[in-house]
Amino acid sequence: MSTKDIAQALFAEAFSAVRQPRSGPYQLGCINYLRLKLDGVKSACPFRAGSAKCDAYLAGVDEGRAILREHRARMPHEALVSWAGRMAALSSEGLRLHAAKVEELEGAAKRFYESFPVSPVSHSATLPINQSK
C-alpha cells in the first residue's frame, strides 16, 4: 500500500465513522496534513487568515496530527504481524534460492580476493606498478 493510499485510508476511516459532520475546510485541513506527512505533498491553507474557514482548516490539521499519531502508535504491532506473515509464507524453495544466491556471492568474493597476488614475506597484496620512469 502506497503512502498516498495510507493517507486516503486513514482519512476515510476517520470520516466514515458515525460522528458529527465536519465542514469541507476541516476535512481539507485533515487530508492535506496526512498527505504532507505521508507523501511530502505541500499545500498551504487556501483560506484567508482569521476567517472561519481558515480556523476550520487548521482544526482539521489538528485532527490529522491526532490521526497520524494514533496510526504510528499502532504501526509496531502491525509491522510485527506483517513480518511474521511474510516469514511464515517463505517456502523451502524460496529459502533454497536464497542460499544459492549467498553461495554465488561468496564465490564471487573469493575469486575477487584470489585475483590479487600476495607477497610471501609481508602477506600483503602487491599491485603491479609501472616502473618505466
Read off the pLDDT of residues 57-112 as tens digits, 9 standing for 90 and up.
999 999 999 999 888 887 776 666 665 566 666 556 667 777 788 888 888 888 87
Does 16 score more than 80 pLDDT?
A: yes
Q: How far apart are CA 56 and CA 27, in angstroms?
A: 8
Structure-model confidence comparison of residues 100 and 30, the more confident one:
30
**pLDDT over 60 (residue 119):** no
Place of cell 490529522: 64
In one letter, which amino acid is 81? V
Cell 616502473 appears where?
A: 131
CA distances from 118 to 32, 82, 95, 122 (A): 62, 48, 36, 8
The pTM (predicted TM-score) of the whole model is 0.55
Q: Evaluate whether 39 touches 4 at the Cβ level (below 8 Å).
A: yes
What pLDDT score was predicted for residue 63? 95
**pLDDT value of position 88:** 61
Give CA–CA dist 70/77, Å, rounded: 12
**What does R_g of the chain's alpha carbons equal in angstroms?**
28
Residues 6+ apart with CB under 8 A from 29: 45, 56, 57, 58, 59, 60, 61, 62, 63, 64
